């Protein structure tokens, strides 16, 4: 088990190369990847995944947006995107998996699959529009975690003004797995993230939400109603739910 993603990078030379490429492309991409990796670990543990699966979640969290290194840098700050931009955006999960395999040939197939599926939602994601039931359980974890981290981050076209509570509520309305949202909320509130201040303040120019720091609840803070649990949220979808999600062939 690695202590954190930096530790994993130091041990695996291929991953180090990938990390360097992401950091060279954009500092924000590198930071987003590290935060996603470490939070994905906390969430996967809470969902009862095996130690091996937790490590796969860490790697997939780190690599999920590797495909962005092929984007023109202007795309980071561009808003709104035109149809040509969207063509590029929509294939970054596939491009990322292909590039990751090229740079780190020994990577688990599960990690590559999660990279490919990290923007899939329950039928309305991309690139393939897969149903939730067709996604790898770790894809559902990384998709939710990376979205939470992204919403915490400031963008040139979107200053971060949402409270953590509002972000969790938004996520709960957007087709993510209910059990994962619940585990994410608990991970953020818990001691899993030892240095919460460091975790959140390393998100660029994060303005602490008034009264929001450290107060998480899916109730209140918004006039929207959280999504009700759906059939895909049934117990058993994750290891902690009573059925082994399995450690698919790596």
Q: Where on the chain is the footprint of Fe ion (CB under 5 A)?
A: 65, 146
The 3-state secondary structure of 145-213, one letter per residue: HHHHHHHHCCECCECCCCCHHHHHHHHHCCCCCHHHHHHHHHHHHCCCCCCHHHHHHCCCCCCCCCCCC
| Closest C-alpha to 120, from 148, 139, 141 | 139
Q: Give the residue with the Cβ less far from Fe ion, 157 or 246.
A: 157
> Going along the chain, which residue ranges are E strands?
none
Neighbouring-strand partners of residue 65: none
Please report how close the Cβ of residue 36 comes to Fe ion at its closest, in angstroms: 6
Our CB check for Fe ion shows the closer of 53 and 65 to be 65
- In the complex with Fe ion, which residue's Cβ is closer, 150 or 193? 150
CB of 114 to Fe ion, least distance (A): 11
Helix (H, G, I), strand (E, B) or coil at 39: helix
**Which residue number, 114 or 239, has a Cβ lying nearer to Fe ion?**
114
Q: Compare residues 65 and 177 and give the one whose CB is closer to Fe ion.
A: 65
Ramachandran angles phi, psi of 179, nearest 5°: -65, -35
Shortest CB 231 distance to Fe ion, Å: 26
Cβ of residue 149: shortest distance to Fe ion, in angstroms? 7
In angstroms, what is the minimal distance from the CB of 214 to Fe ion? 24
Tokens 């998480």 correspond to 216
- Min dist CB 75 to Fe ion, Å, is 12
Residue number with the smallest Cβ distance to Fe ion: 146
Closer to Fe ion by CB, 164 or 221: give it.
164
Question: Tokens standing for 210?
Answer: 């008034």
d(CA 240, CA 159): 36
Dihedrals φ, ψ of 115, to 5°? Answer: -60, -45
Question: By C-beta, is 162 or 239 nearer to Fe ion?
Answer: 162
- Phi, psi (rounded to 5 degrees) for 96: -60, -45
Shortest CB 243 distance to Fe ion, Å? 28
Return the half-sphere exposure (C-beta side, CA atoms, 13 A cut-off) of residue 135: 34
């Amino acid at each position: 088990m690695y202590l954190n993603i930096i530790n994993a990078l130091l041990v695996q030379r291929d991953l180090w190369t990938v990390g360097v490429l992401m950091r060279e492309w954009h500092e924000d991409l590198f930071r987003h990847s590290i935060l996603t990796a470490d939070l994905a670990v906390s969430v996967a543990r809470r969902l009862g995944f095996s130690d091996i699966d937790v490590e796969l979640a860490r790697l997939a969290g780190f690599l999920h947006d590797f495909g962005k290194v092929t984007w023109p840098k202007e795309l980071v700050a561009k808003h709104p995107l035109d149809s040509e931009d969207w063509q590029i955006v929509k294939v970054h999960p596939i491009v990322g998996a292909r590039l990751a395999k090229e740079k780190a040939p020994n990577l688990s197939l599960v990690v590559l699959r999660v990279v490919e599926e990290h923007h899939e939602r329950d039928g309305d994601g991309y690139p393939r529009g897969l149903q939730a039931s067709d996604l790898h359980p770790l894809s559902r974890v990384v998709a939710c975690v990376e979205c939470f981290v992204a919403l915490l981050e400031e963008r040139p076209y979107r200053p971060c003004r949402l409270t953590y509570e509002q972000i969790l509520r938004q996520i709960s309305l957007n087709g993510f797995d209910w059990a994962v949202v619940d585990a994410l909320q608990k991970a953020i509130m818990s001691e899993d993230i030892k240095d919460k201040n460091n975790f959140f303040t390393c998100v660029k120019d994060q303005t602490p939400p008034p009264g929001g720091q450290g107060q998480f609840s899916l109730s209140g803070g918004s006039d929207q109603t959280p999504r009700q649990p759906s059939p895909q949220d049934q117990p058993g979808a994750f290891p902690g739910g009573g059925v082994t999600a399995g450690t698919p062939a790596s």
